Amino acid sequence: MEKLKLALLGCGHLNEIVAKALMDGYLPEYELVGVFERDFNKAVNFSKTYNCTPCETIDELMSLKPDYIAEAASVEAIREYGEIILRNGASLIVLSIGAFADKEFYEQIKNTAFMNKRKVYIASGAVGGFDVLRTASLMSPITAKISSKKSPKSLKKTPLYKEGLLDIKESEQVFSGTTKEAIEILPTHVNVAVATALASAGPENTLMKINALPDFVGDEYKIEIEGEEVKTDLNIYSKTSDIAGWSVVFVLQNIVSPIVF
Ligand SMILES: NC(=O)c1ccc[n+]([C@@H]2O[C@H](COP(=O)([O-])OP(=O)(O)OC[C@H]3O[C@@H](n4cnc5c(N)ncnc54)[C@H](O)[C@@H]3O)[C@@H](O)[C@H]2O)c1
């Protein structure tokens, strides 16, 4: 059987997990045809390891006619290339979900995918449970909250950092607001919150809290929804961000699997 053509947008840590999983036999239905990345040297090195074509432009990548493009680059990359990818015949698996906090952009991407008979897959990334969130929100209006724990160090280069944060001795709340407000302040840190919001009450109505914890390692998220009949309380801890790369492998497996989870 002819293999599906997979291409990667971004040659960083997470897409390396995807490429390696393919090489290690987790995705036998796919072949990696090419990669595009803003640092061309990085793309060249990546392509040598994973045996595919390095591309200097998105047009070059699209000329390889990929069926699927897995994005692990940045919110800007989704804004810049999302439409081009879908219009040129590929479906898109997204990790930089923060791009979709902008309602107008989200609607535009949805429409382009529909018009071109393509799909946008929102990978579960570092969280999950989107199935129960979607299902519960069908049954009745729901309220949704997501809270996250982070190390003070991980907030260092963000607007949430303030003097003394590195020396805190107990948990300190550093943000409370809607997920839409969170993505404006922390464009690269709250992809999971936007994904959770899109699957539940929407970015403007899903509340987010971020707590800094001394000596905390990794990420921990708590997702709570409450509807008339259904309540959830999901806790997801991950030591590293690798879970996000593996969630893309899972999406790619699901796409070809006779049994879909
Ligand atoms: N949804 C989730 O749960 C989740 C979890 C972790 C990370 N992420 C997101 O996934 C993305 C990738 O994470 P990573 O750890 O692999 O990052 P990384 O920095 O290791 O790799 C990203 C690569 O993409 C390239 N890139 C960035 N912007 C680009 C652009 N506009 N055009 C072309 N190339 C571009 C960079 O040069 C870099 O090589 C980030 O946006 C991150 O915020 C999402």
CATH number reported for the structural domain that contains residue 218 in this entry: 3.30.360.10
CATH number at residue 88: 3.40.50.720
- Separation of alpha carbons 166 and 140, rounded Å: 42
* Better-predicted residue by pLDDT, 47 or 180: 47
Confidence of residue 259 (pLDDT cuts 50, 70, 90): very high
29 and 142 in a single domain? The answer is no
Pocket residue to mutate for ligand 1, from 11, 13, 14, 78, most atoms within 8 A of Cβ: 14
Would 222 be classed as within a structural domain? yes
Position 245 scores a pLDDT of: 98
Compute the distance from residue 142 Cα to the ligand 1 centre, in Å.
31
Q: Express each pLDDT in 127-146 by its tens digit.
A: 999 999 999 999 999 999 99
Per-residue pLDDT at 178 exceeds 80 = yes
56 and 113 in a single domain? The answer is yes
Would 38 be classed as within a structural domain? yes
Confidence of residue 216 (pLDDT cuts 50, 70, 90): very high
Domain count, the chain: 2
Element (H, E) at 149: strand 143-150
Average pLDDT over every residue of 24-41: 98
106 and 195 in a single domain? The answer is no
Would 261 be classed as within a structural domain? no
Residue numbers of the domain that contains 89 = 4-125+243-256
Per-residue pLDDT at 187 exceeds 90 = no
20: left (phi over 0), alpha (psi -120 to 50) or beta: alpha
Per-residue pLDDT at 180 exceeds 90 = no
Per-residue pLDDT at 254 exceeds 90 = yes
> Residue type for 195, please?
A
Would 60 be classed as within a structural domain? yes
Has this prediction a pTM greater than 0.85? yes
SS (H, E, C) 94-120: ECCHHHHHCHHHHHHHHHHHHHCCCCE
Position 186 scores a pLDDT of: 87
235 and 174 in a single domain? The answer is yes
Q: Express each pLDDT in 33-69 by its tens digit.
A: 999 999 999 999 999 999 999 999 999 999 999 999 9
164 and 81 in a single domain? The answer is no
Pick the residue whose CA is nearest to atom 12 on ligand 1.
72
Compute the distance from residue 167 Cα to the ligand 1 centre, in Å.
29
15 and 57 in a single domain? The answer is yes
CB 96 less than 6 A from any atom of ligand 1: yes
Per-residue pLDDT at 197 exceeds 90 = yes
Confidence of residue 183 (pLDDT cuts 50, 70, 90): confident
217 and 185 in a single domain? The answer is yes
110 and 139 in a single domain? The answer is no
For the purposes of burial, counting CB atoms within 10 Å of the CB of 105, is it exposed (0-12), middle (13-18) or buried (19 or more)?
A: middle
